[in-house]
Amino acid sequence: EVQLVESGGGLVQPGGSLRLSCAASGFTFSRYWMHWVRQAPGKELVWVARINSDGSSINYADSVKGRFTISRDNANNTLYLQMNSLRAEDTAVYYCAKESRWYFDPWGRGTLVTVSS
């Protein structure tokens, strides 16, 4: 069974940092592009970042460019999102998702990041 499990969320002060992880299983992780998508409480889904299969191609949403870094460890089947200079508007559930030809399937259950003093 294909499975994605996020971890690393929590409460952080504005300006702080957090590192999210997404553990993948049930598929050949190293062959797929991976994405992070977030959803603020009661709001819509927002695409955050993507990384290609070997980590050589990366793209970010303008809202996180320069503050967030997506990376992956194919040896350990894990996707990461390093989040720096966090702002209140970064408060959201963060989902990782496996990409197949520009669609996302499956998604993890998400991890909640709360930025507040």
Span interacting with other proteins, options 7-15, 20-28, 40-48, 74-82, rule CB under 8 A: 40-48
Q: Which of 8, 47, 69, 114 binds other proteins (CB under 8 A)?
A: 47
CB closer to other proteins out of 75 and 105: 105
Q: Considering the rule CB under 8 A, would residue 1 count as an interface residue with other proteins?
A: no
43: left (phi over 0), alpha (psi -120 to 50) or beta: beta
Q: At which residue do the structure tokens 């992956």 appear? A: 72
Are 25 and 77 spatial neighbours (Cβ–Cβ below 8 Å)? Answer: yes
CB atoms within 10 A of CB 107: 15
- Interaction site with other proteins (CB under 8 A): 35, 37, 44-47, 50, 59, 61-63, 95, 100-110
